[in-house]
Amino acid sequence: MIEQIARQVLDNAMSEREFQAQIIKLARLLGWRVFHPWLSVHSASGWPDLALCRPPRFLLAEIKRERADLTPAQVCWRLDLAECPGVEIYTWRPSDFEEITRVLG
């Protein structure tokens, strides 16, 4: 019980940047190549934050704080990308870390 409460507090306090850095570190440790645009000012609105490749798999992930919602542009990209065979698309929040570990493992 106390561990769950502590985890919730940590999840809620974690910034998107900190969480994304954890995912990138884990992905690289597990042999994934990672792409994240350094500056998304000139990128298409709503495009996922991370592209990860470890053949034969390719996945895209939108990284969100615990209680943040997808923008309309992110929802549109997600719907279109979900229709592309072979492309895995995820929205990950800090509370999803166990699933992220499973997906990348």
Q: Which domains does the chain have, with CATH numbers?
A: 2-104 (3.40.1350.10)
Longest dimension (CA), the chain: 45
Record the pTM: 0.84
Omega before 56 within 30 of 0, i.e. cis: yes
Return d(Cα 74, Cα 69) in angstroms, integer. 9
Answer whether residue 3 shows pLDDT above 90: no
Q: For the segment 47-82, what is each residue's pLDDT rounded down to a tens digit?
A: 999 999 999 999 999 999 999 999 999 999 999 999
**Cα-based torsion angle of the residue sequence 72, 77, 82, 87 in order, rounded to the nearest 10 degrees:** -150
Return d(Cα 105, Cα 47) in angstroms, integer. 24
Q: What is the DSSP letter of 66?
A: T
Q: How many CB atoms lie within 10 A of CB 99?
A: 12
